[in-house]
Amino acid sequence: MVRALLDTGVWLRRYHGLPLRRSLRDFLEREVTEYCLCPLSVAEVAFKWRRGRLPGIPDPAAWVEHSLENFTLVQVSERAARQAGLWDWEHGDLVDRILAALARESDMPLVHTDRVLKEFSGFPQRYYKGLTVQ
């Protein structure tokens, strides 16, 4: 059984019942025993929603608290923040870098669908191709 840190997009899609690949759905339902999330994922969703980049998703104020009921929140430590900034990666998404550093520090896989992030090493990860049904 697995303790897993969910990427923002995986958490959002899972909660709202949006399409996920069967392999990802099966992993989340059958193998994960503890779901973890970084509060920065909440900020990322609120930021994208406010800018109209999440069509069809209601105001986060209406659902985020409920969505976190079965999650352990993993706070960003100084060590993880430093690691996120120091990695010699071209990937400039700070939230992704912090999530990867948290996965490393907590020794749990970051479950994601990011084709760019999957190319990097130095942290435990479970990459699933795309977010379409198969």
The pLDDT tens digits of the residues spanning 40-93 come to 999 999 999 999 999 999 999 999 999 999 999 999 999 999 999 999 988 888
pTM, whole model, 2 decimals?
0.93
> Is 32 strand, coil or helix?
strand
Q: What is the C-alpha separation between 7 and 100, in angstroms, rounded? A: 9
Q: Which domains does the chain have, with CATH numbers?
A: 2-127 (3.40.50.1010)
